Structure 1
Amino acid sequence: MTTTVDPPVRVGKPAVWALALLAAATGTLESVVTPTLPLLQRELSMSRAEGALLGVAMLITGAIIAPIAGNLGDRFGGKWVMVRLMAVVATGGLVSALAPNLPVLLLGQVLEGAMVGAMPLSFILVRKHLPAGESAVAIGVVSGMFVGGGMLGTLMAGPIAEGLSRHWMFAIPTMAIVITTLAVHRLMPNDPPARSDARIDWPGVVLLSGILVTLMAVLQVAPNAIDQPLLLGALVVLLAGLVTGWIQVERRAAAPMIDLRLLAKPALWSSYVITFAVCVGTAGATYLVPQLFDVSADGYGFGASPTDIGRYLLPSAIAAAVSGPLGGLAVRRFGSSAVLATGIGVMTTALFALAFVHAEVWHLVVGKALIALASGVCITAMVVKTADAVDEESTGIATSLVLVTRVLGFAFGVQVSGSILDAGKLSGTTVPAESAYSTGFVIAATVTALSLLVIRTLHKGVKA
């Protein structure tokens, strides 16, 4: 039974900026582990394998939580779900801040992973409370602030951990999350649920969670497939079985977690393909550029210190922060397809350029900034396009799958880039040959460019 509700209250800029600041705070907390992983390994006596597990724990949780949060937000109201989700994230941040050992820190990271679900909930809220043109800009602002927060966390984590302690690099963004969540709770009006009698499709939730965890495991194992062929084969078989079972469950469920008819829309499946390809390209640059800065200056690198690398990446942080609002404005003026084509063109050109021109620091700084800007614009356009392709009550689940695809694309891109460098080591050393970096950039550029082939399908099946 569908209930009749009053139209949602329109909101002003303070409410939108509260959401944006919450996105920045969560992005900051999400990113503090990566630059400080060597420090955490030393202080907590972790092996490299344990460090790798710590690095992906949040990604796995986020990939699982995002579609669940989007589904619940569509059914029960975005604000209601978001406030409770942020309570989980804040608890995770507190656990991480107080963690005396690896198991406790892993628990904190798993809880923090719930933050990925905040993005589709934000998109639900702005779409319900703002006119179409303004909601596109608001989506861009929220997306850009999340990315900008991530860059801020990358830059500030090291100095805070070294100047204060590792505990404070978790505690400071956690306090910001608590404050901004209270601001959202106060400034953002309640949004009515789409259905008051909706039930949660628990079998679908469990199977989808298994699919995402297994897929992440496949991405982790695939680079070492020669050494572990049986394990990879077993994971692929398990993944195929889970996917088959999930499709059957969703087809028969009275209230499926994901309506498979949505995924059949050209505007949706093509958006996920494009998102994956763009994020593979972005991940390639995100992984390869800092590695190039770190290579000894006696060879083809620059011998940059962690502080120097942070300075060199600052323009990328700024570009990433402005890319979301810029993408939203561009979509409103020129349309998603035109913005996507332009962004992908800029990314592809920059990646190809870095493959052959990286002899000076400024080459990498400019190239990385262009890639960060183009990537953020593309993802914003993709979220807006996806939201426009579905009814309002499906906004959360449709946009959450964009974020899941984004996580998977980044994981795949990093794994491929790392494997290329490992395979291209100079004989008798642990240093990759310069040609390995060129190969990595060319592959990232090629994957990104291939996404242009499906842009033409984006206009099909878009809701009028």
Structure 2
Amino acid sequence: MSETVLSPPVRIGRPSIGGLGILALALGALQSVVEPALPLLQRELGVGPAEGALVANTLLITGAVVTPIAGKLGDRYGGKRVLVRLMAVVSAGGLLAGLAPNLPVLLLGQVLQGVMVGALPLSFILVRKHLPPGRSQVAIGLVMALFTGGGMVGTLVAGPIAERLSWHWMFALPTIAIIATTVAVTRLMPHDPPIPSDDRIDWPGVVLLSGTLLAVMLGLVTVTSADLPPFAVGAIAVVVAALATGWVAVERRAASPMVDLRMLAKPAMWSASVLTFVITTSFGMVVFLIPQMFAVSADGYGFGISTTDIGLFLMPGAIAGAVSDSVGGIAVRRFGPRAVVIVGSVVTAATMIALASLHTAAWQLALAKVLTAFAAGVGTTALLAGTATAVEARETGIATSLLVVTRVIGVALGVQLGGAILAAGADPMTGRPAESAFVTGFAVAGLVAALSLLVVRVAKKGTQK
């Protein structure tokens, strides 16, 4: 009687790891070009802040949906196979955005680009399968570092590309790099065998969550950009509530849910989810409002800064956000997640309230972005690390994926709220937001951050009962 012997996985070398790293670099660049160029895109496309916020949010929405299922697809069908197909979708989205003649086509391109979020867990699957534990940790760190570095590159080059060529090229050039790198990864990376699984992909949950998020974002745009009668606003609210209720019902009954909502019943999990949502909503408002104020004409309260200079002013904040991810893990080990969240919330709230009163120099906005990016990064990383150690080992993947989804949704909602506030405070003749709209936006961002302190207090009382 013969036994089937499984051959060990093929080891990969530096060229394969380098290919994954360069792919992550190009993806990070494509993801980040919108933030500094958003005011320019609004001018070129003739849209207001609320519609402009959708350009950034559609990518985030797709990412929130793809994140929980990318790893499952990679395990089931093979990491390389799924990665190549996702990159084909991303490339189609990047090329579509690069050729987009109007906002709807650009939004469709951004939706397709959003599946890039799935590249990271798929890269980790490939690294784990083809490298021993010690080297795989180094390789994962390299991929993450290059993805973060790509975000910085995109922030810096978006302005020069858009101003010297056109905004279409800031999508097209990273996409060309992604296509070339994907071809290289296809040739260099060995195939990894799929892992048989009886778990079904929760496609109804995917569709309902996508619909809910899109309805929320489009609802905010519609309500703030048009003079709707009360029944129309109520109808939008009913649609959002119905989609959300349907998603919750599907997730509770699914054998293998996209997001295991039962985890939220645990005190450590629900408090971490609420805190992550509040922190990232506040930060999402900051991410949107600061570049908008940089771009407002210098005749009044703004600065009239070019897209290139906006990228330079945002760069320290991008660096602070990258550094915060590593600092957050150290801080939670030394002080605990509660203390880290409290300090981060106080810093963010104080910074935004101060910015609402004092925003007469560009360096003040740049400093505010640095402080809030660092505080938000440290806080959310501390919550992620604290939760990963608070739940049972077998629940770590479910818990952390839920927080990642919450993090993305919070940022998307914050961006859209910022756009809604500016749209509501825009001059009907010029379309330019009044200074009071920015003051309101900064103050609301600070108050939202301060809500974290209330959540921490309530959560502490709940655990003491």
Equivalent position amino acid for 2:158 in 1: A
Q: 1:260 to 1:78 in 2, by over 3 A?
A: farther
Deviation at 1:51, TM superposition (A): 6.1
Q: 1:438 to 1:202 in 2, by over 3 A?
A: closer
| % same residue | 57
Task: Return the alpha-carbon distance in structure 2 between the equivalents of residues 7 and 281 of structure 1.
Answer: 48
Alpha-carbon displacement from aligned partner over 1:393-432 (angstroms, at most 9, x marks no partner):
6555544433433333233323333343445567987555
Select between 309-318 and 331-340 the one with higher mean Cα deviation: 331-340
Task: Return the alpha-carbon distance in structure 2 between the equivalents of residues 342 and 47 of structure 1.
Answer: 38
Structure 2: tracts of 5 or more residues without a match: 1-5
Deviation at 1:373, TM superposition (A): 1.9
Residues 70 and 397 of structure 1 are in contact (CA less than 8 Å); yes or no, is this contact kept in structure 2?
Answer: no
The equivalent of 2:243 in structure 1 is 242
Structure 1: tracts of 5 or more residues without a match: none
Task: Give 3-state SS (helix, strand or coil) of 1:153's partner.
Answer: helix
Select between 203-212 and 452-461 the one with higher mean Cα deviation: 452-461
Matched, 1:377 2:365: no
Alpha-carbon displacement from aligned partner over 1:136-182 (angstroms, at most 9, x marks no partner):
x9988866765553343233123113334445322332244356665
Task: Return the alpha-carbon distance in structure 1 between the equivalents of residues 97 and 444 of structure 2.
Answer: 36
Task: Return the alpha-carbon distance in structure 1 between the equivalents of residues 142 and 351 of structure 2.
Answer: 24
The equivalent of 1:410 in structure 2 is 411
Residues 143 and 380 of structure 1 are in contact (CA less than 8 Å); yes or no, is this contact kept in structure 2?
Answer: no
Task: Return the alpha-carbon distance in structure 1 between the equivalents of residues 167 and 296 of structure 2.
Answer: 26
Task: Return the alpha-carbon distance in structure 2 between the equivalents of residues 460 and 15 of structure 1.
Answer: 49
Task: Return the alpha-carbon distance in structure 2 between the equivalents of residues 8 and 337 of structure 1.
Answer: 42
The equivalent of 1:111 in structure 2 is 112
Task: Return the alpha-carbon distance in structure 1 between the equivalents of residues 356 and 342 of structure 2.
Answer: 21
Deviation at 1:114, TM superposition (A): 0.8
Q: 1:16 to 1:64 in 2, by over 3 A?
A: same
Residues 143 and 324 of structure 1 are in contact (CA less than 8 Å); yes or no, is this contact kept in structure 2?
Answer: no
Matched, 1:160 2:188: no
Deviation at 1:448, TM superposition (A): 0.9
Q: 1:251 to 1:318 in 2, by over 3 A?
A: closer
The equivalent of 1:272 in structure 2 is 273
The equivalent of 1:231 in structure 2 is 232
Deviation at 1:245, TM superposition (A): 2.8
Task: Return the alpha-carbon distance in structure 2 between the equivalents of residues 448 and 454 of structure 1.
Answer: 10
Q: 1:200 to 1:431 in 2, by over 3 A?
A: closer
Equivalent position amino acid for 1:367 in 2: A
Residues 274 and 454 of structure 1 are in contact (CA less than 8 Å); yes or no, is this contact kept in structure 2?
Answer: yes
Counterparts of residues 216-365 of structure 1 (less than 5 Å)? 216-224=217-225, 227-365=228-366
Deviation at 1:120, TM superposition (A): 5.1
Task: Return the alpha-carbon distance in structure 1 between the equivalents of residues 282 and 68 of structure 2.
Answer: 24
Q: 1:263 to 1:429 in 2, by over 3 A?
A: same
Counterparts of residues 390-409 of structure 1 (less than 5 Å)? 397-409=398-410
Equivalent position amino acid for 2:451 in 1: L
Q: 1:95 to 1:422 in 2, by over 3 A?
A: closer
Task: Return the alpha-carbon distance in structure 1 between the equivalents of residues 126 and 391 of structure 2.
Answer: 15
Q: 1:18 to 1:445 in 2, by over 3 A?
A: farther
The equivalent of 1:171 in structure 2 is 172
Task: Return the alpha-carbon distance in structure 1 between the equivalents of residues 43 and 422 of structure 2.
Answer: 25
Equivalent position amino acid for 1:357 in 2: L
Residues 75 and 393 of structure 1 are in contact (CA less than 8 Å); yes or no, is this contact kept in structure 2?
Answer: no
Equivalent position amino acid for 2:383 in 1: M
Deviation at 1:58, TM superposition (A): 2.7
Q: 1:394 to 1:373 in 2, by over 3 A?
A: same
Task: Give 3-state SS (helix, strand or coil) of 1:383's partner.
Answer: helix
Task: Give 3-state SS (helix, strand or coil) of 2:438's partner.
Answer: helix
Residues 62 and 113 of structure 1 are in contact (CA less than 8 Å); yes or no, is this contact kept in structure 2?
Answer: yes
Residues 159 and 306 of structure 2 are in contact (CA less than 8 Å); yes or no, is this contact kept in structure 1?
Answer: no
Task: Return the alpha-carbon distance in structure 2 between the equivalents of residues 50 and 447 of structure 1.
Answer: 23
Equivalent position amino acid for 1:289 in 2: I
Q: TM-score, normalised by structure 2?
A: 0.77
Task: Return the alpha-carbon distance in structure 2 between the equivalents of residues 329 and 343 of structure 1.
Answer: 14
Task: Give 3-state SS (helix, strand or coil) of 2:197's partner.
Answer: coil
Residues 126 and 138 of structure 1 are in contact (CA less than 8 Å); yes or no, is this contact kept in structure 2?
Answer: yes
Task: Return the alpha-carbon distance in structure 2 between the equivalents of residues 251 and 206 of structure 1.
Answer: 15
RMSD between aligned alpha carbons? 4.5
The equivalent of 1:203 in structure 2 is 204
Select between 53-62 and 23-32 the one with higher mean Cα deviation: 53-62
Task: Return the alpha-carbon distance in structure 2 between the equivalents of residues 450 and 338 of structure 1.
Answer: 15
Deviation at 1:112, TM superposition (A): 0.9
Residues 339 and 381 of structure 1 are in contact (CA less than 8 Å); yes or no, is this contact kept in structure 2?
Answer: yes
Equivalent position amino acid for 1:258 in 2: V
Task: Return the alpha-carbon distance in structure 2 between the equivalents of residues 14 and 343 of structure 1.
Answer: 40
Alpha-carbon displacement from aligned partner over 1:310-330 (angstroms, at most 9, x marks no partner):
332222222223222333444
The equivalent of 1:366 in structure 2 is 367
